[in-house]
Amino acid sequence: MRGGGLWQLGQSLNRRLAQADKKVVGRRFFSSEENLKKTVLYDFHTVNGGKMVPFAGWSMPIQYKDSIMESTVNCRENGSLFDVSHMCGLSLKGKDCVSFLEKLVIADVAALAPGTGTLTVFTNEKGGAIDDSVITKVNEDYIYLVVNAGCRDKDLAHIESHMKSFTSKGGDVSWHIHDERSLLALQGPLAAPVLQHLTKDDLSMLYFGEFRILDINGATCFLTRTGYTGEDGFEISVPSENAVDLAKAILEKSEGKIRLTGLGARDSLRLEAGLCLYGNDMEQHVTPVEAGLTWAIGKRRRAEGGFLGAEKILKQLAEGPPVRRVGFISSGPPARSHSKVQDDKGNSIGEITSGGFSPCLKKNIAMGYVKSGTHKTGTKVKIEIRGKAYDGTITKMPFVPTKYYKPT
């Protein structure tokens, strides 16, 4: 039953976030309820029916009164409001902040126009991904970026360590961690028209990947036209004392069409959009080239290197990576993380990293890694689920077309 498949997705995520995998709990989550941090919207979530679960040390809503299927479809048809305040926003400032950051990420930060940003990857000495991040060059001596909640501690330690070395040699860079702010993600076709009611700035002039500091609902906000669903939308960094009022105002202005949405639908939305979840689809041993993020490596960076792990990454660009991230459509039960992938002769060629039932496409979708040479679109494979092999086909991503707001 298809609804059952989606229920399984929600239950699987719920169990994984809570207790099922002790190794994951120990590494990424706090298992004790008393230790969990709460966003300023915690009470707002519970009053509105949010089902709270542990995630990356925080108590976060996995869903509200709607099912995960209903929430996913509503985001694409109308809109969703997510509390993503568990993620970590920070600013780098100083005349050398661009050159400093370029030592740590693969992006051509210097080439970004002021007020624009990009997805990038923090790499380690072996070329593996420490984390993915959306970075924005506010101006030549001011960068704003957001890192994942589950990677916060290691990311901040990594940045701080390199910053100490950089400044000890005379580099001019300092940082501020925005723990005084909350982060809301407003996604879907109604995101822009609804948010326009709450600001005097013309949002039609703000395109995908662009950033502004502006007044929204009476509060000074950092607004980035981006998101994690494939839909048009925004991430709004708002002073924490104004976060609940802003959330209420957005929901009110939408007249009930934009709904509070939790982690369950966020996971199915990003999977439909073909976007990586760090810890599943990207890890410290996976390079950006293997992860299909070659486009994020700036042209100048390909020529010059100068970032951690550049030797391995540039070699993979020249010679090709040993494995590649691909999408799958499959029959039978939805494929899950670590499901084995075989070729038509039964040889193991890779494994699934994320999978589930697509509420919008009404079919099983997944992503994972296969050996180079077996990655071509249309290749028939077998996916092993609970000891039984099911038919699958390698397909292009995103599964659902993206609707980013770009100049025509």
Collect all residues with Cβ–Cβ distance below 8 Å to 266 and sequence separation of at least 6: 82, 228, 229
Q: How far apart are CA 83 and CA 240, in angstroms?
A: 12
Q: Residue 22 corresponds to which amino acid?
A: K
Q: If you compute the radius of gyration of the chain from its CA atoms, what whole number of angstroms results?
A: 21
Q: How far apart are CA 404 and CA 234, in angstroms?
A: 10
319 annotated as belonging to a binding site for a ligand:
no
Judged on CB neighbours under 10 Å (0-12, 13-18, 19+), 370 is buried
Give the strand pairing for 181-187 and 51-55: unpaired
Collect all residues with Cβ–Cβ distance below 8 Å to 76 and sequence separation of at least 6: 188, 189, 229, 231, 269, 360, 400
174 touches 160 (CB < 8 A)? no
9 touches 334 (CB < 8 A)? yes
Token readout for 119 is 């997805």
Token readout for 160 is 């701080």
38 touches 58 (CB < 8 A)? yes
Pick out the residues of the known binding site: 235
Write out the binding residues for substrate. Answer: 235
